[in-house]
Amino acid sequence: MLSLGPIGNVVQIGVALGRHPMPLLLASLVGLGNPTVTQEPIVISGTGTLSCERLTGETLHGRGYAQSKLTVATFSWVQGYLSALNVVAIAQAGVFADLRTITEEEQWTDILEFCRRNPDRFVIDAAQEIMKTRLKIEIALPQPK
């Protein structure tokens, strides 16, 4: 099962700074399932569910994220996922992870290194690892009234 760990981590940082998260995220995630199907709802889809084993098996070392359609799609998915986490974190906790903390090349290297160490995990897990360990958490500027 895939987890949504960094959302909780970023929101917890916001709470530690004196902000209170709203329960809207949980309510919105619950609504993502298809009510006519008896299976578990799908919360994450797309390239984030790609196995690390497959990604590293189809990636040439040292060629960057623009080497194939799969690697471009994977890197784009990670960037979108991290951006979405930031939107939620800003809305719920007033904080965000600065994506400029490390370069795009460093982010791609981190994804591949995570996947090489953890072939049984998924791209989403690599993205969450970047969020947890590599990106600087910042306080969002207050919105003008």
Instruction: Give residue-wise pLDDT tens across range 14-60.
Output: 434 444 443 334 333 334 444 445 677 767 788 999 999 999 999 99
Torsion angle, CA of 54/60/63/65, rounded to 10 degrees? Answer: -10
* pTM higher than the cut 0.85: no
pLDDT in tens, 88-112: 999 999 999 999 999 999 999 999 9
User: Over the chain, what is the mean pLDDT?
Assistant: 80
Instruction: Show the tokens assigned to 83.
Output: 């951006």
Q: Could you give the count of Cα atoms lying within 13 Å of 80 in the half-sphere of its Cβ?
A: 12
Confidence of residue 13 (pLDDT cuts 50, 70, 90): very low
Residue written as token pair 């979405």: 84
Side chain identity at residue 145, one-letter code:
K
DSSP the chain: ----HHHHHHHHHHHHTT----THHHHHHHTTS-TT--SPPP---GGGGSBHHHHHHT--TTS-TTSSHHHHHHHHHHHHHHHHHHHHHHHHHSEEEETTSS-HHHHHHHHHHHHHH-TTSBHHHHHHHHHHHTSEEEEPPPPP-
